[in-house]
Amino acid sequence: MLTLESATVLFGKRSALDAVDLKVADHEIVCVLGPSGSGKSTLLRVVAGLHPPDGGRVLLDGADQTGVPVHRRGLGLMFQDHQLFPHRDVGANVAFGLRMHGVTRGDQDRRVAELLELVGLPGAERRAVAALSGGEQQRVALARALAPRPKLLMLDEPLGQLDRSLRERLVVELRTLFARLGTTVLAVTHDQGEAFALADRVVVMRDGRIAQAGTPLEVWQRPASAFVARFLGFDNVVDATVTGAAAGTAWGKVPVPDGSPQGPCALLVRPAGVRLGSPEAGLRCTVGARTFRGNHVAVTLHPESGPVLEAECPLRDTPQEGAHVGVTFDASETVVLPAVF
């Protein structure tokens, strides 16, 4: 469906996109994930034709899109803050793309009603855009983007402005909807939870380049680099040198899975792999702040040597703040990452 061949965009000397190659297959939902400034919005603008690439090509269904203006690309784009037309009502907003494509009046009305039904706002045609809540605007924007049946639907921070509970519900709704319609989707977001819940495939971006691509499970289990690990929220990353079945780190020796590459590396220890015991055994730590996370407690530990550690404890076994504990590591929860240079 969509192919990017070494797409490059320069803002002055800085490259917002640095020779990005990306493929999106039919009916696939791909989510581009990255911190702000990583070039993910620029990526969408290049695909839509809103920003000409300084190098490389965009192909849709194999056809080179160079020189094809925005309005002839037949794509859908849901903007970050929706960009609903304030002077038109809900129905006219949804019908806009249909009108541009010369659909007859009767067909427009039918399709608008059908889409509003689909996004859960039946009969909202005559409502003013300004009177909609954030979640409703979101649904109208989606209906508007879907109405002309775009080859590829692009979503820019689709749920960014909504509150948490609404976001979690909508993500599930969106995924179900796209699966039912067979829509091909390219979304960008900075929220990993959103990306993992929505996507078939996740693409992590950093400084205009792709840092890792894979299924949510792959990316979660085996982050490709210290950057990806930290971006996913894992803070227990240290420089290490693997020798045999253990790595030498600032925390002492940490066991690693069998078959890990030998030599210098960066080592990730997931919080679940940090086991607390009596202070006599293992790495001696002082317990710092404790944060309740529903079914477990995140504990910050200050080791005698090495950087701060984060551990996950069951509610019952959480030590008191200021207590001394001994830490051992679980090999199955550690990941050897390429060394950080």
Partner 1 sequence: MRLGLMAVPVAFFAVFFAHPVVAIVGRGLKADGAWQFGRIGEVLTRPDILDVLWFTTWQALASTALTLVIALPGAYVFARFDFPGKQVLRAVVTVPFVLPTVVVGTAFLALLGRGGFLDELAGLRLDTTVWAILLAHVFFNYAVVVRTVGGLWSQLDPRQEEAARVLGAGRFAAWRRVTLPALAPAVAAAGLMVFLFTFTSFGVVQILGGPAYSTLEVEIYRQTAQLLDLPTAAVLTLVQFAAVGAILAVHAWTVRRRETALKLVDPAQTSRRPRGTGQWTLLGGVLLTVLVLILLPLGVLVERSLDAPGGYGFGYYRALQSVEASGSTFLVAPLEAIGNSLQYALVATAIALLVGGLAAAALTLPQPRTDSAGGTPLAERLVRGFDALLMLPLGVSAVTVGFGFLITLDKPPLDLRTSWILVPLAQALVGVPFVVRTMLPVLRAVDGRLREAAAVLGASPLRAWREVDLPLVRRAVLVAAGFAFAVSLGEFGATVFIARPDNPTLPVAVARLLGRSGELNYGQAMALSTILMLVCAVSLLLLERIRPDRSGEF
Binding site for partner 1 (CB under 8 A): 10-12, 48, 50-52, 69-77, 79, 83, 85-88, 96-97, 100-101, 144-145, 148
As measured in angstroms, the least distance from the Cβ of 4 to partner 1 is: 18
With a CB cutoff of 8 Å and minimum separation 6, the contacts of 181 are 146
Give dist(CA 205, CA 22) in Å, integer.
11
**Cβ–Cβ contacts within 10 Å for residue 163, how many?**
10
As measured in angstroms, the least distance from the Cβ of 207 to partner 1 is: 19
CA distances from 48 to 4, 135, 156 (A): 12, 25, 12
Consecutive H or E run containing 110: helix 105-118
β-pair partners for 252: 249
Compare residues 101 and 293 and give the one whose CB is closer to partner 1.
101
Compare residues 84 and 162 and give the one whose CB is closer to partner 1.
84
Residue with tokens 């960066």: 266
As measured in angstroms, the least distance from the Cβ of 67 to partner 1 is: 12
Compare residues 66 and 305 and give the one whose CB is closer to partner 1.
66
Compare residues 108 and 334 and give the one whose CB is closer to partner 1.
108
As measured in angstroms, the least distance from the Cβ of 36 to partner 1 is: 17
Residue with tokens 């002309």: 148
As measured in angstroms, the least distance from the Cβ of 50 to partner 1 is: 5
- What stretches of 24-104 show up as alpha helix (H) in DSSP? 40-48, 90-100
β-pair partners for 228: none
Compare residues 72 and 169 and give the one whose CB is closer to partner 1.
72
Compare residues 152 and 336 and give the one whose CB is closer to partner 1.
152
Give dist(CA 110, CA 106) in Å, integer.
6
As measured in angstroms, the least distance from the Cβ of 80 to partner 1 is: 9
CB-CB contact of 236 with 217 (8 Å): no
